[in-house]
Amino acid sequence: MASPLASPSRHHSIFLMIMRRLRAPLILLVVIISSSVLGLTLIPGPEIDGQARYLSFFHAFYFISYTATTIGFGEIPYSFSDQQRLWVMFCIYLSVIGWAYTIGTVFALLADRNLQQAIAMLRFSRAVRRLADPFYLVCGYGETGRLICQALDQRGFRMVVIEVDETRAGEVDLYSYTADVPTLTADAGNPDTLQSAGLTHPNCIGVIALADSDAANLAISISARLLAPRLPVLARAATRETAANMASFGTAHIINPFERFSHSLGLALHAPAAWHLLTWLTGLPGSAIKRHRTPPHGHWILCGHGRFGRLMLDAMDMESIPVTIIDHHPQSNIDHLWIQGDATGPAALEAAGINDAAGLVACTNSDIDNLSIAVTARMLNKNTFIIIRQNHYSNRALFTAFESDITVIPSEIIAHECLAILSTPLLAPFLEVIRQRDEEWCNWLLQRMTRRMGWTVPEIWSARINFTQAPALYRRLMRGETIALDQILHSHANRYEYLACEALYLSRDNDDALTIPAAATPIHPGDELLLAGHPGARAAFELNIGNEHALNYILTGDELRGSWLWEKFGRH
């Protein structure tokens, strides 16, 4: 009778599934109770005044009800005859069988994995449907996923998590997020799963694809591209082929951690100041950046010619730095010095010329090997600049103990990149400007910024001058007032002091963009500003542009009257 075209909602089908399973026990119960009742009404009772008394349906049903439920009030309205007792004996055992069967079915149903999954899915999609705040769809809750979720949670965003591994999905509950995080254990590569996780939900503001396999990330990207084209998609790609594939259908942001790092190393080699500025701007807010040694030019050693090693080699070739490679399996088609051997021992390192090497990259896919290489290298040459690749987050204690110059942690690179893109879309064009500017300019900006704010990673945020984000300022600008950027950067506690923040970038609707806008730049309605500063300065700035009173004070020095009523009085 079920038509293949009918597609009832999930909620409906779970209810129907329970009902179908309970059909047999319920019918059995009805049959047992009704035959018991019928029997009782037909069997002659005790003789009173020479006339056999029969139980009516009313009394029979009453009696069977309390007998079948093991309550047992006794024999009413008269003591039973022996025929009746014989029948009641059958009824008692029959009803016990009926109940045992029903309860057994109910428990089997509750323990049913399919049903549990169906209920979990139902709860999940209901929780997602009811999300009233903007949320990110995070696919994959590994190390990176966890870092991103924690940071998003701190910033007050909601998340929905899909993770294929049950243990990892369980970790979401263990970490105490401020808001509830709906989590589903399922393969995120399935478009249906993505839809019930809120891909097409009006409050979904972004998809972050961090699944373990490239295939899954690819599937997520293409689903998002087709089902929710307006959403920004951030996807991790482990190989260049996947990245190219994702780019081919317009995935907004593709993050390959190793490629990202090799670019940044390339930048560090030819423009140290720009590189410092980038690390300072894209770190985790609040963490202090140690001013790194700049990677030196000179002879480098690369241990491990894998995915990461190859990208590092490309970056160094771009800067024409001589490199010696140590690996177990040499490849013939590479025109670099090549030493076949085990880099963890001093022999291979010495053969590669560690004694006068400027730097060393330990980038095998084993954390222990990398540490071993780095420690040996340090012993042989104290001044070597060491870049070390950390594969697993669980080994972080070892990596912290060994003071490398740079530790490359793929999960952190992805997390930083995602957060920078998500929280401040304006940051990407600004970073692009930094990469293109010359060394002198970067150095000037870095000194100017760090002198004001120190080496702690600043909070970076953007503000659009529109009615929702900056009602007070927007209203004034629409009235035709001219307000300079400098004016709104004052503190509303004391208008002769500046807030601890700087405007980095200003983007206008007509594709006009100003890098480090001058103090006298007039603000236009619709402008978008990128600012960096202390976390407190952000709140103060948002009050400045959003609150009529604060804005009036910093612009004029006058206090506005408190409320509508006082304003009415004040006019007279």
Partner 1 sequence: MNFEKVIFGFFILLAATLNFGFFIGAVDDPVQHDIYELFAALVVSLIATLLKLGDRTHIGAIHLATSLVADLQLLAAAMVWGYASHVTGADPLSASMTARVVSLSGGAFFANSVSVVILIAETIMQRR
Residue 275 CA to residue 270 CA, distance in Å, equals 9
Would you call 326 exposed, middle or buried from its count of C-beta atoms within 10 A (0-12, 13-18, 19+)?
Answer: buried
Question: Is residue 38 a contact residue for partner 1 (CB under 8 A)?
Answer: yes
Comparing CB distances to partner 1, the nearer of 41 and 469 is: 41
Q: What is the distance of C-alpha 99 from the center of its chain?
A: 48
Q: Which residues contact 133 (CB under 8 A, 6 or more apart)?
A: 157, 158, 179, 203
Question: Is residue 3 a contact residue for partner 1 (CB under 8 A)?
Answer: yes
Comparing CB distances to partner 1, the nearer of 35 and 469 is: 35
Considering only residues 57 to 96 of the shown chain, the ones binding partner 1 according to CB under 8 A are 57-59
Question: Stretches 50-58, 240-248, 368-376, 493-501: which one binds partner 1 (CB under 8 A)?
Answer: 50-58
Q: Which residues contact 44 (CB under 8 A, 6 or more apart)?
A: 52, 53, 54, 81, 83, 84
Question: Is residue 568 a contact residue for partner 1 (CB under 8 A)?
Answer: no
Residue 101 CA to residue 132 CA, distance in Å, equals 44
Binding mask 326-355 for partner 1 (x = CB under 8 A): ------------------------------
Residue from 16, 226, 334, 379 that binds partner 1 (CB under 8 A)?
A: 16
Question: Is residue 19 a contact residue for partner 1 (CB under 8 A)?
Answer: yes
Tell me how far, at minimum, the Cβ of 26 lies from partner 1, in Å: 5
Residue 254 CA to residue 233 CA, distance in Å, equals 8
Q: Which residues pair with 460 in a beta bridge?
A: 532
∠ at Cα 571 (566, 572), nearest 5°? 105
Residue from 11, 52, 56, 518 that binds partner 1 (CB under 8 A)?
A: 56
Comparing CB distances to partner 1, the nearer of 54 and 441 is: 54
Comparing CB distances to partner 1, the nearer of 22 and 120 is: 22
Residue from 14, 17, 118, 380 that binds partner 1 (CB under 8 A)?
A: 17
Residue 148 CA to residue 161 CA, distance in Å, equals 11
Identify residue 507 by its one-letter amino acid code: S
Identify residue 445 by its one-letter amino acid code: L
Tell me how far, at minimum, the Cβ of 50 lies from partner 1, in Å: 18
Tell me how far, at minimum, the Cβ of 58 lies from partner 1, in Å: 4
Where is 437: in which H helix or E strand?
A: none
By CB under 8 A, the count of residues binding partner 1 is 25
Contact present, 408 and 386 (Cβ < 8 Å): no
- Per-residue three-class SS string for 67-114: HHCCCCCCCCCCCCCHHHHHHHHHHHHHHHHHHHHHHHHHHHHHHCHH
Comparing CB distances to partner 1, the nearer of 3 and 320 is: 3
Contact present, 520 and 532 (Cβ < 8 Å): no
3-state secondary structure of 456: strand
Comparing CB distances to partner 1, the nearer of 33 and 186 is: 33
Comparing CB distances to partner 1, the nearer of 20 and 230 is: 20
Query: Listing from the earlier edge strand, what are the strands of the sheet with 233-236?
Result: 183-185, 158-163, 135-139, 204-209, 233-236, 253-255
Comparing CB distances to partner 1, the nearer of 41 and 395 is: 41
Tokens of 449: 């910024």
Residue from 11, 30, 86, 444 that binds partner 1 (CB under 8 A)?
A: 30
Residue from 14, 22, 109, 514 that binds partner 1 (CB under 8 A)?
A: 22
Tell me how far, at minimum, the Cβ of 59 lies from partner 1, in Å: 8
Residue from 26, 52, 103, 428 that binds partner 1 (CB under 8 A)?
A: 26
Question: Stretches 14-22, 323-331, 376-384, 406-414: which one binds partner 1 (CB under 8 A)?
Answer: 14-22
Comparing CB distances to partner 1, the nearer of 59 and 452 is: 59
Question: Is residue 31 a contact residue for partner 1 (CB under 8 A)?
Answer: yes
Residue from 4, 10, 11, 13 that binds partner 1 (CB under 8 A)?
A: 13
Would you call 5 exposed, middle or buried from its count of C-beta atoms within 10 A (0-12, 13-18, 19+)?
Answer: exposed
Tell me how far, at minimum, the Cβ of 214 lies from partner 1, in Å: 39
Binding site for partner 1 (CB under 8 A): 1-3, 6, 8, 12-13, 16-17, 19-20, 22-23, 26-27, 30-31, 34, 37-38, 41, 56-59
